[in-house]
């Protein structure tokens, strides 16, 4: 599938901001964030430069997995508000130039969902086949996703004497996509929310959605599971010509390419680049750019209509599963040496600033990378002010703490007593008295002001989202130098991963003889010589964004 109208590809140069409604802003002082609170903070997001708000699950839920255990795909959890509140958020966001996407969690339901309650009532119930059942668990089954919580992917249902599959928690039974009725239900769910005004979905755990390994009846298997993913993309296109499917696919590169649909680009619109993210942390730990360079160069070419989503931190653990055991231990030693900072043997439950000991040079280096690597940047709420984590919280909840709007016991998140908050506010050096929106918005030297500046320059330079990427050879292993070229426009970006300053000779080639290199972030400039060579000095953990302006031309946005 080829898209020729580039105006439909808004996500190629978007700034995506992920938030959990229940931890963002509490407007009715009950200790839980709500849509009314979010509506009153949309101007803040517009000011930051956000163009797409990604909502974590807001559906009715028993809340045993922070909302990812859903009992009604068509509802709004009453703790967060009602449909009118959600529609108002979508409307205001559109008025402010922002789109809204939401989590699409369709590989499982809650065990309290009416479908599953009916399915487990008897083996002959019409909803029985909505889930995956066996008389006994298969041998050689894969390891549980959460090995500290589950010992198997199968759970015995005592009433019917059969086991149901649950790749995640036992209270989240897997849906059976080989059942055409389930596939119809998923399409209805997508159509419902698109009709309500969403611009697409972040699709949870995509590989598990397409996994049919637990199904016994081979005649029921889909001829091509990826054909089902293509059908979802096609459905999205029919219902919303410019909608997006942003997929969570933490797999090796060759398998990631399959989920894009290869050169056709007819499956997922976007994918998170887990491999580059993990290697970025390895490069930070080593103060050597080589690991990140190799990861970026390993990206499959795919379709020009596909896009990578870059991120520093997300709402789950910081997974390092694609690194070798030795590499993972390097990152653990550098950024999470304590056992309580690690989880599942594969990841960290920390936010970036504490991992980097609050060093503003390294923190700014990382966010400069986020906005200048080829692809679309995704921020997790609170990153723009440098929020920390709560290591007293369990597992992933360490980074899902209330947004810190101002100083005070609840960080301006709620007027309720701190004891009424579902998640405790961060304490210590990253408590609201030290890290909050109110103070940073007034401080031109704050992290908030810096990230807002990055957003502005990123949005003024379409090369970052659209450009052809290439790594430039440099002598220093601590430096990542890359260029992005689009429509005869070019930017060159350099990042120094080491604490020591470095001078970088750049050879842009004779075609760039005498060109001006204009620094987008500072306004300074230098000029290449008659051979297209220039020298760039970088401080320790320094970086620069250079617009290449041919001799005799002027800087244009």
Q: Please indicate, yes or no, if residue 494 is contained in any of the structural domains.
A: yes
Gap between the Cα atoms of 45 and 50, Å rounded = 6
Residue 309's contacts (CB-CB under 8 Å, 6 or more residues apart) are 16, 246, 270, 271, 272, 273, 375, 376, 377, 378
Give the count of beta carbons closer than 10 Å to the beta carbon of residue 96: 15
Is there a contact between 204 and 103 (Cβ–Cβ < 8 Å)? yes
Q: Please indicate, yes or no, if residue 491 is contained in any of the structural domains.
A: yes
**Active-site annotation holder among 174, 204, 273, 516:** 204
Range of the domain at 531: 463-549
Q: Is the dihedral of CA 403, 408, 410, 416 positive or negative?
A: negative
* 8 in active site: no
Identify the domain boundary among 142, 165, 188. Answer: 165
Q: Please indicate, yes or no, if residue 16 is contained in any of the structural domains.
A: no
Residue 479: which CATH number?
Answer: 2.60.40.1180
Residue 463's contacts (CB-CB under 8 Å, 6 or more residues apart) are 484, 485, 486, 489, 490, 491
**Active-site annotation holder among 174, 248, 273, 317:** 248
Pairing mode, strands 525-527 and 516-519: antiparallel
Q: Please indicate, yes or no, if residue 274 is contained in any of the structural domains.
A: no
pLDDT of residue 6: 58
Q: How many domains does one find in the chain?
A: 2
pLDDT of residue 2: 40
Q: Running DSSP on this structure, what letter comes out for residue 144?
A: P
**Over the chain, what is the mean pLDDT?**
95
Identify the domain boundary among 165, 184, 200. Answer: 165
Residue 149: which CATH number?
Answer: 3.90.400.10
Identify the domain boundary among 165, 180, 206. Answer: 165
What tens-digit pLDDT sequence spans the chain (557 residues)?
A: 343 445 689 999 999 999 999 999 999 999 999 999 999 999 999 999 999 999 999 999 999 999 999 999 999 999 999 999 999 999 999 999 999 999 999 999 999 999 999 999 999 999 999 999 999 999 878 788 888 889 999 999 999 999 999 999 999 999 999 999 999 999 999 999 999 999 999 999 999 999 998 998 887 899 999 999 999 999 999 999 999 999 999 999 999 999 999 999 999 999 999 999 999 999 999 999 999 999 999 999 889 999 999 999 999 999 999 999 999 999 999 999 999 999 999 999 999 999 999 999 999 999 999 999 999 999 999 999 999 999 999 999 999 999 999 999 999 999 999 999 989 999 999 999 999 999 999 999 999 999 999 999 999 999 999 999 999 999 999 999 999 999 989 999 999 999 999 999 999 999 999 999 999 999 999 999 999 999 999 999 999 999 999 987 766 54
* 248 in active site: yes
Pairing mode, strands 502-507 and 533-538: antiparallel
Model pLDDT for residues 245-292, shown as the tens digit of each residue: 999 999 999 999 999 999 999 999 999 999 999 999 999 999 999 999
pLDDT of residue 144: 87
Is there a contact between 115 and 130 (Cβ–Cβ < 8 Å)? yes
């Amino acid at each position: 599938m080829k898209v020729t109208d580039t105006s439909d590809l808004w996500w190629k140069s978007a700034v995506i901001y992920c938030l959990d409604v229940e931890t963002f802003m509490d407007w009715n002082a009950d200790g839980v964030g709500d849509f009314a609170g979010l509506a009153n903070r949309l101007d803040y997001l517009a000011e930051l430069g956000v163009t797409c708000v990604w909502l974590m699950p807001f559906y009715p839920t028993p809340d045993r997995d922070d909302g990812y255990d859903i009992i009604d795909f068509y509802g709004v959890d009453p703790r967060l508000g009602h449909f009118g509140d959600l529609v108002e958020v979508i409307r205001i966001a559109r008025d402010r130039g922002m789109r809204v996407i939401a989590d699409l969690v369709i590989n499982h339901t809650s065990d309290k969902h009416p479908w599953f309650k009916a399915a487990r009532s008897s083996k002959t119930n019409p909803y029985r086949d909505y889930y995956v059942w066996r008389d006994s668990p298969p041998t050689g089954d894969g390891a549980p996703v959460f090995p500290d919580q589950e010992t198997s992917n199968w759970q015995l249902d005592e009433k019917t004497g059969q086991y149901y599959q649950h790749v995640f928690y036992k209270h989240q039974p897997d849906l059976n996509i080989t059942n055409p009725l389930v596939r119809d239900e998923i399409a209805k769910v997508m159509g419902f929310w698109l009709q309500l005004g969403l611009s697409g979905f972040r699709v949870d755990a995509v590989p598990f959605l397409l996994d049919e390994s637990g199904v016994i009846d081979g005649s029921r298997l889909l001829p091509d599971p990826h054909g089902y993913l293509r059908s979802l993309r096609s459905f999205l296109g029919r219902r919303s010509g410019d909608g997006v499917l942003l997929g969570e696919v933490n797999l090796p590169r060759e398998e990631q390419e399959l989920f894009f649909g290869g050169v056709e680009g007819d499956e997922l619109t976007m994918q998170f680049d887990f491999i580059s993210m993990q290697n970025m942390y390895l490069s930070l730990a080593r103060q050597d750019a080589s690991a990140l360079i190799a990861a970026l160069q390993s990206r499959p070419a795919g379709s020009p209509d596909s896009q990578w989503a870059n991120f520093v931190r997300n709402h789950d653990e910081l997974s390092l599963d694609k690194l070798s055991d030795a590499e993972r231990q390097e990152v653990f030693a550098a950024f999470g040496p304590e056992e309580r900072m690690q989880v599942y043997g594969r990841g960290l439950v920390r936010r970036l600033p504490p991992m980097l000991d609050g060093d503003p040079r390294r923190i700014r280096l990382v966010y400069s990378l986020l906005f200048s690597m080829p692809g679309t940047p995704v921020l997790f709420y609170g990153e723009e002010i440098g929020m920390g984590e709560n290591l007293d919280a369990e597992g992933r909840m360490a980074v899902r703490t209330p947004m810190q709007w101002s100083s005070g016991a609840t960080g301006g998140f709620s007027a309720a007593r701190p004891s009424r908050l579902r998640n405790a506010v961060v304490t210590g050096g990253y408590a609201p008295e030290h890290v909050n929106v109110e103070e940073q918005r007034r401080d031109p030297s704050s992290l908030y002001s810096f990230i807002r500046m990055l957003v502005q320059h990123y949005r003024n330079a379409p090369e970052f989202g659209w450009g052809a990427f290439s790594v430039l050879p440099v002598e220093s292993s601590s430096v990542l130098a890359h260029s992005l070229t689009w429509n005869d426009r070019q930017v060159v970006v350099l990042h120094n991963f080491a604490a020591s300053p470095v001078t970088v000779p750049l050879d842009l080639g004779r075609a760039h003889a005498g060109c001006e290199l204009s620094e987008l972030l500072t306004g300074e400039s230098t000029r290449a010589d008659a051979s297209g060579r220039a020298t760039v000095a970088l401080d320790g953990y320094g970086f620069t964004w250079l617009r290449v302006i041919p001799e005799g031309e002027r800087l244009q946005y």
